[in-house]
Amino acid sequence: MKKDSVIAILGGQPAFTQSLHVGRPNIANRERFLERTGEMLDRRWLSNNGPLVQEFEQRIAEFLRVKHCICVCNATIGLEIAIRAADLKGEVIVPSFTFVATAHALQWQEISPVFADMDPATHNLDPAKIERHITPRTTGILATHVWGRPCPVEVLAEIAQRRGLKLMLDAAHAFGCSYRGRMIGGFGLAEVFSFHATKFLNSFEGGAITTNDDTLATKIRLMTNFGFAGYDNVIHLGTNGKMTEVCAAMGLTNLEGIKDLVAVNRRNYEAYRTGLASIPSMTLMTYDPTERGNYQYVVVEVDEATAGLNRDELVRVLHAENVLARKYFWPGCHRMEPYRSLYPYAGLLLPETERVAARVMVLPTGMAVTVEMISTICGIMRTAFTRSTAVRSALA
Ligand code: T4K
């Protein structure tokens, strides 16, 4: 139940009695999901490359127009497997402005993530900042399509080719997005999507590795299932990265509803754009309208100088109103362990990452959020800035 928009931090009632989350899961068609789950139980085939996983893989490959799709239990394991299958070692260049899983997937295998700075206009890895980090130990570049906005893949591919590196892409945010008319999924040596509950397309937990490389695909498929090539025949080192049937049932159902999911996110995005238009101290991250996008992340930058409040203060205001805005990807991977201890001076070469990470926040969207709620959220922020002096002293 929504009450009048007030500033709870100044002693009013929260605007929302139930929390609004960033990443509240989208569920496209409950009945179809339950039907698929019922059939799955009747079949008693719950995991290990079952019919739903096979169908999900085929439908993803068709949708993304990529040769191979291998579903996995989550994107972190997917990244680990793809990195290992591609034989990356030594050092790999990554953004610091990404979810920590991107770096952990390397470090977990004793490969050093080397953090490069972002382009503040896109929040993606800045190609101009990469080459200074290349050493004789560098074997690859692992770039993230942050917020589903594509990385400059041709420039990255050109650097990778010229310097003898492998290019892989963390596409965790980018399902359903395109770059110059081509769906994300077929760039680099391989791309890895996340279907975590909070993602645009969710399968509870899950992910997919996509590639156009036949040899790599075969290796990845083996590695995802302990290296088995048939009963009792292990021909490769492997792990358990398999997706379960119930996850594929959810993934397939959401894939069928993808147009509706984009429409909801886009409607919400436009509502934020309207609501934020009268707040000059907040800049809404834009998406290229000529490309396909999933609009899963509503990202704003707060300009403290004109707002009278900084990002952290605004997040506290919103949380007091039960709007659980998130500070993704603050403070940057390089300021998280073990990287903070391993590379205490990494921040010196990451000025844009440090600046942007302190200004950015992500607002709730998805099926659980209505246009009316967004209007209230924007009203809270407008009021907070108008009364910034009082709010600041209440927070002190
Ligand atoms: N690469 C990138 C660039 C990524 O962003 C991610 C994951 C990965 C790799 C790894 O993918 P996976 O291995 O997860 O497939 C969340 C997600 O757990 C994580 O998947 C995601 N990125 C990251 C951006 O966000 P947290 O630690 O912020 O999650 P948490 O538990 O705070 O949940 C987020 C919000 O969603 C909360 O307000 C609660 C709400 N929520 C969450 C779940 C699970 C719900 O309302 N319902 C739910 O079922 O990491």
168-203 per-position pLDDT tens digit:
999 999 999 999 999 999 999 999 999 999 999 999
Mean pLDDT on 118-132:
98
Share of the chain above pLDDT 90, in %: 96
Confidence of residue 21 (pLDDT cuts 50, 70, 90): very high
- 376: helix, strand or coil: helix
Question: What's residue 304's pLDDT?
Answer: 94
- Answer yes or no: is pLDDT of 1 > 90: no
- Answer yes or no: is pLDDT of 4 > 80: no
Mean pLDDT on 349-375:
97
User: Tell me: the pLDDT tens digits for 243-277?
Assistant: 999 999 999 999 999 999 999 999 999 999 999 99
| More reliable by pLDDT, 3 or 37 | 37
Mean pLDDT on 30-35:
98
Strand segments, DSSP code E, in the chain are 20-21, 68-72, 91-95, 112-116, 138-144, 166-170, 178-179, 182-183, 190-194, 207-211, 282-284, 298-302, 323-324, 360-363
Distance CA 158, CA 146 (A): 20
Share of the chain above pLDDT 70, in %: 98
- 224: helix, strand or coil: helix
Question: What's residue 230's pLDDT?
Answer: 92
Q: What are phi and psi of 135, to 5 degrees?
A: -130, 175
Question: What's residue 3's pLDDT?
Answer: 53
CB 296 within 8 A of CB 149: no
Residue nearest to atom 34 of ligand 1 (CA): 23
Q: If you measure from the C-alpha of residue 172 to the centroid of ligand 1, how many angstroms do you get, rounded to a whole number?
A: 10
Mean pLDDT on 5-28:
89
Which of 81, 99, 108, 298 for mutating ligand 1's site (highest number of atoms within 8 Å of CB)? 99
Distance CA 34, CA 164 (A): 49
User: Tell me: the pLDDT tens digits for 199-219?
Assistant: 999 999 999 999 999 999 999
Question: What's residue 2's pLDDT?
Answer: 54
Please list, in sequence order, all residues whose beta carbon lies within 8 angstroms of the beta carbon of residue 84, skipping any fewer than 6 positions away: 109, 223
Fill in the DSSP letter of residue 345. Answer: T
User: Tell me: the pLDDT tens digits for 138-176?
Assistant: 999 999 999 999 999 999 999 999 999 999 999 999 999
User: Which value, in Å, is the radius of gyration of the alpha carbons in the chain?
Assistant: 22
Distance CA 379, CA 385 (A): 10
H-run or E-run covering 154: helix 153-163
Q: What separation in angstroms does the CA of 283 have from each of 277, 280, 311?
A: 9, 7, 12
Distance CA 345, CA 299 (A): 28
Q: What are phi and psi of 218, to 5 degrees?
A: -60, -45
- Answer yes or no: is pLDDT of 12 > 90: no
- 140: helix, strand or coil: strand
- Answer yes or no: is pLDDT of 6 > 80: no
- Answer yes or no: is pLDDT of 315 > 50: yes
Distance CA 387, CA 384 (A): 5
194 lines ligand 1 (CB under 6 A): yes
Q: What are phi and psi of 385, to 5 degrees?
A: -70, -40
Q: What are phi and psi of 4, to 5 degrees?
A: -60, 145
Question: What's residue 10's pLDDT?
Answer: 87
Q: If you measure from the C-alpha of residue 196 to the centroid of ligand 1, how many angstroms do you get, rounded to a whole number?
A: 7
Instruction: Read off the tokens for 164.
Output: 């003898």
CA 44 to chain centre: 33
Which of 104, 142, 198 for mutating ligand 1's site (highest number of atoms within 8 Å of CB)? 198
- Answer yes or no: is pLDDT of 380 > 80: yes
Which of 76, 106, 196 for mutating ligand 1's site (highest number of atoms within 8 Å of CB)? 196
Largest CA distance in the chain: 70
User: Tell me: the pLDDT tens digits for 48-93?
Assistant: 999 999 999 999 999 999 999 999 999 999 999 999 999 999 999 9
| Mean pLDDT taken over the chain | 96
